[in-house]
Amino acid sequence: MKLDNQKKTAAKILKVSPKRVKVDPSRAEDLKEAITKTDLRGLIGDGAITKVQKKGVSRARANKGKAQRGKGLRKGAGSKKGKKTAHAPKKESWMRRIRAQRDFLKELKTKGRIDTRTFTGLYRKAKGGFFRSKKHIKIYIDEHRLTKKE
């Protein structure tokens, strides 16, 4: 029994695709006689024509992963995309570096290894980004013989 036209009209009423219109096989005779939209609306109300639930992708697994990431899990090196600088701001790395260098220079000054004038020059160089690290400062001091003579 062909009920294509009825299905098509019912789909328009239900605002779904004709694929999602389910017809009760026991009420097929009533459906065959139903020609107008009003007839079909009555059958929809009776439950002879129903709308099939849309199939979707479950979010359960995604939500579980999200919850774990919220706890700080699943955030290892293998999960990261992008450069190192994308994960840690450049300013923070600069702050860590400059603070270490400045502390090192202050330590040298208080221990009396360098004089005030040398300290000022090195401090300004550090501020300008001249040194890469504490080790670089040590190398620079040795090469230029900036330590105090005892």
Residue 127 lies in a domain: yes
Mean pLDDT across the chain, nearest whole number?
93
Residue 64 lies in a domain: no
Residue 137 lies in a domain: yes
Residue 37 lies in a domain: yes
Assign 88 a pLDDT band (cuts: 50, 70, 90): confident
pLDDT digits (tens, 9 = 90+) for 24-79: 999 888 888 898 999 999 999 999 999 999 989 999 999 999 999 999 999 998 99
Residue 123 lies in a domain: yes
pLDDT of residue 31: 86
**Residue 26's domain is classified under what CATH number?**
1.10.1650.10
48: nearest Cα among 7, 2, 4, 1:
7
**Cβ distance 136 to 129 under 8 Å?**
no
pTM over 0.85: no
**Residue 107's domain is classified under what CATH number?**
1.10.1200.60
Percentage above 70 pLDDT, the chain:
99
Residue 98 lies in a domain: yes
Assign 150 a pLDDT band (cuts: 50, 70, 90): low
Task: Please determine, for residue 16, whether its predicted confidence score (pLDDT) is greater than 70.
Answer: yes
Residue 47, domain extent: 4-51
Same domain membership, residue 92 and residue 43: no
Residue 27 lies in a domain: yes
pLDDT digits (tens, 9 = 90+) for 92-108: 999 999 999 999 999 99
Q: What is the mean pLDDT of residues 125-141?
A: 97
**How many domains does one find in the chain?**
2
Same domain membership, residue 137 and residue 93: yes
Question: In this predicted structure, which of 11-15, 34-38, 80-84 has the lowest mean pLDDT?
Answer: 80-84
Residue 16 lies in a domain: yes
Burial annotation 20-42 (CB, 10 A radius, 16+ → b, else e):
bbebeeeeeeebeebeeeeebbe
